[in-house]
Chains A and B, each alone.
Chain A
Amino acid sequence: MGTFHQDKGELHGITVVVDTVGAEIYVGRCDELNEERIVLHDVDVHRQGDNGRSKEEYVERAARFGIWKQFEQLAIPAEAIASVRRLGDL
């Protein structure tokens, strides 16, 4: 038993890794993914090289321990998105 919102896509409520075509990579709980954008809740962002960590190193750590959220909500435009993956699959 739980709460669901069936109209927001299969990733709604799932913690995802959103890699971008730029330096940023995001981890957050997907609210909505559509042709225009992805909306994330409880989001952390890492930039390539921040704290001496590559994007891959950041994601590896996030997959083990989770993330400390920096933002309540962020929207990332579709043209900036390189990939969307489930954090739990990594």
Chain B
Amino acid sequence: MPYSPLIVNPMKEELTSVGFQELLTSEDVDAFMADKETTAMLVINSVCGCAAGQLRPGVRLALQNEIQPDRLVTVFAGQETEATKQARTYFADIPPSSPSIALFKDGELVYFIPRHRIESRSVEEVATDLTAAFDRYFAATPAS
């Protein structure tokens, strides 16, 4: 059963207010994944206080980094269940985890942070992990 919007909406707004687009349906997810020429961050948001409480501010902090994903999208586990299930089909060999963060480059999954790598860490540590991944995977490759 989906959560009350009274609970979920403020958690969504923590991300949408900094530029994340919500993927609400399977079609939204497939349309997002069809673009294979950009970099992107998909956040699987959740109500989990043990991890999502660090995830959302950690993501916001990471977006102050010079190098960032081209696109920011989010699904909400336990709320938009169809969209979340569809998103997970694009990294089906990784066990389901929420909250979690997936980074894509040119349509390929390049980095994934599962829930257990968030729940024991501070906001700053989550941001540090993410910015290191942005720098590693999203930095422009010099023309040869």
Binds A, one of B23-31, B79-87, B117-125, B136-144: B117-125
Is there an interface contact between A1 and B95, defined as CB atoms closer than 8 Å? no
Whether B49 sits at the interface, judged by CB under 8 Å, is yes
Is there an interface contact between B120 and A89, defined as CB atoms closer than 8 Å? yes
A12 to B119, CA, bound (A): 11
Whether B52 sits at the interface, judged by CB under 8 Å, is yes
Q: A64-78, CB under 8 A of B: which get 1 and which 0?
A: 011111000000000
Whether B69 sits at the interface, judged by CB under 8 Å, is no
The one of A2, A15, A69 in contact with B116, judged by C-beta atoms closer than 8 angstroms, is A15
Q: A88: which B residues are within 8 A, CB to CB? A: 116-121
Is there an interface contact between A15 and B52, defined as CB atoms closer than 8 Å? no
Q: Which residue of B lies closest to A89 (CB)?
A: B120
Given contacts A13-B119, A65-B114, A66-B115, contact A2 B94 (CB under 8 A): no
Interface residues on B, range: 20 to 34
Whether A86 sits at the interface, judged by CB under 8 Å, is yes
Specify which of A2, A14, A86, A88 lies most central, judged by the most chain B CB atoms within 10 Å of its CB. A2
Interface residues on A, range: 10 to 19
Given contacts A3-B49, A66-B94, contact A87 B14 (CB under 8 A): no
Instruction: Give, as a whole number of angstroms, the nearest-CB distance from B47 to chain A.
Output: 5
Interface residues of A in 40-83 (CB under 8 A from B): 63, 65-69
Q: B48: which A residues are within 8 A, CB to CB? A: 2-3, 13
The one of A4, A68, A87 in contact with B49, judged by C-beta atoms closer than 8 angstroms, is A4
- 27 pairs across A/B with beta carbons < 8 Å? A1-B10, A1-B14, A1-B53, A2-B47, A2-B49, A2-B52, A3-B7, A13-B48, A13-B49, A13-B50, A14-B50, A15-B119, A65-B94, A65-B95, A65-B114, A66-B95, A66-B97, A66-B115, A67-B95, A86-B120, A87-B116, A88-B116, A88-B117, A88-B118, A88-B119, A88-B120, A88-B121
Q: Using CB atoms and an 8 Å cutoff, list the residues of chain B in contact with chain A.
A: 7, 10-11, 14, 47-53, 56, 94-97, 114-121
Q: Using CB atoms and an 8 Å cutoff, list the residues of chain A in contact with chain B.
A: 1-4, 12-15, 63, 65-69, 86-89
